[in-house]
């Protein structure tokens, strides 16, 4: 939860740098008959990088005749997985922020909020790792397929009738940054698993082994909880009350003190990671 400010922001960076990308490569063909030459054949491509749909017209160096050629490869799977992960991470972290700030009581109720947050955070950090790795691999292959030297091999006239050379390679900085942001998001979410786990209060579960202490904790903690949430939720069953109370209050006690430490230490921790 301490990452509330960073998570949406870095998710936006990830999907904006990848999803908003468009690149261009250029080659030049100098035919034996100069009038047929084309010195700047520009090939544009963009997210989601279905290169097999990207085409260009190259002179055949036989008068005005040309051939239409398509690039090779399809990197949409990894690119779309990456962007989808980023979009959902963005939406979830926004939602979590809203719930955390405006529905604090509902969030604490039954310890359900912290538990869901813990599970979802774990799933997201795993997804970030998988999608960033897949996208890093996809990007490496994309660079290979859009290498002007590789593209020139597709053009038949370059084999004998023309002198062909690369003019411009695509600018990759945007996509390189997207991969970096992907792995950074993984670190951010993986690091937050720890905070999310603290919020669940599970690290207090060791206390259950000591009945005396547990009982006294229950005794002292029943009061504040029954005032706040029990009145809002008359549907709570009495038999489960003790269990719920204990867990919820343990979560509450720990989190209120920890949110403070989290808020104060969180940004510093993550700033350190940057």
Ligand X SMILES: *[C@@H]1O[C@H](CO)[C@@H](O)[C@H](O)[C@H]1NC(C)=O
Residues that bind ligand X (CB under 6 A): 33, 35-36, 38, 41-42, 56, 63
d(CA 162, CA 185): 48
Q: Shortest gap between Cβ of 171 and ligand X (angstroms)? A: 18
Residue 139 or 151 with smaller CB distance to ligand X: 151
- 39 or 194, CB closer to ligand X? 39
CA 96, 98, 104, 109 torsion: positive or negative? negative
Q: Are 221 and 241 in contact (CB under 8 A)?
A: no
Phi/psi at 117 (5° precision): -60, -40
Write down the least CB distance from residue 24 to ligand X, Å. 10
Joined tokens for residue 180: 């970096």
Q: How far is the CB of 25 from ligand X (least distance, A)?
A: 10
Phi and psi based region of residue 174 (left: phi greater than 0; alpha: psi -120 to 50; beta: remaining): alpha
The whole-angstrom separation of Cα 54 and Cα 219 is 70
Which residue, 33 or 223, has its beta carbon nearer to ligand X? 33
Residue 64 or 209 having the CB closest to ligand X: 64
Residue 74 beta carbon to ligand X: minimum distance, rounded to whole angstroms: 22
């Amino acid at each position: 939860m301490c990452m509330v400010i960073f998570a949406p922001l870095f998710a936006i960076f990830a999907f904006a740098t990848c999803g908003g990308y468009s690149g261009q490569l250029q080659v030049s063909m100098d035919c034996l008959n100069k009038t047929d030459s084309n010195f700047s054949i520009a090939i544009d491509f963009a997210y989601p990088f279905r290169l097999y749909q990207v085409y260009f017209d190259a002179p055949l160096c036989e008068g005005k005749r040309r051939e239409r050629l398509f690039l090779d490869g399809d990197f949409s799977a990894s690119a779309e997985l990456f962007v989808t992960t980023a979009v959902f991470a963005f939406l979830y972290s926004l939602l979590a922020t809203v719930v955390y700030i405006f529905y604090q009581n509902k969030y604490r109720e039954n310890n359900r909020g912290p538990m869901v947050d813990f599970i979802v955070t774990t799933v997201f950090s795993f997804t970030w790792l998988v999608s960033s790795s897949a996208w890093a691999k996809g990007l490496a292959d994309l660079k290979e397929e859009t290498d002007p030297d590789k593209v020139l091999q597709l053009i038949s006239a370059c084999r004998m009738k023309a002198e062909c050379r690369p003019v411009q390679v695509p600018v990759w900085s945007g996509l390189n940054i997207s991969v970096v942001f992907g792995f950074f998001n993984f670190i951010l979410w993986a690091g937050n698993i720890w905070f999310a786990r603290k919020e669940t209060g599970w690290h207090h579960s060791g206390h259950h082994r000591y009945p005396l202490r547990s009982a006294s904790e229950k005794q002292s903690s029943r009061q504040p909880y029954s005032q706040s949430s029990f009145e809002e939720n008359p549907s709570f069953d009495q038999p489960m009350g003790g269990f719920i109370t204990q867990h919820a209050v343990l979560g509450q006690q720990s989190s209120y003190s920890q949110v403070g430490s989290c808020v104060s230490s969180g940004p510093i921790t993550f700033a350190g990671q940057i």
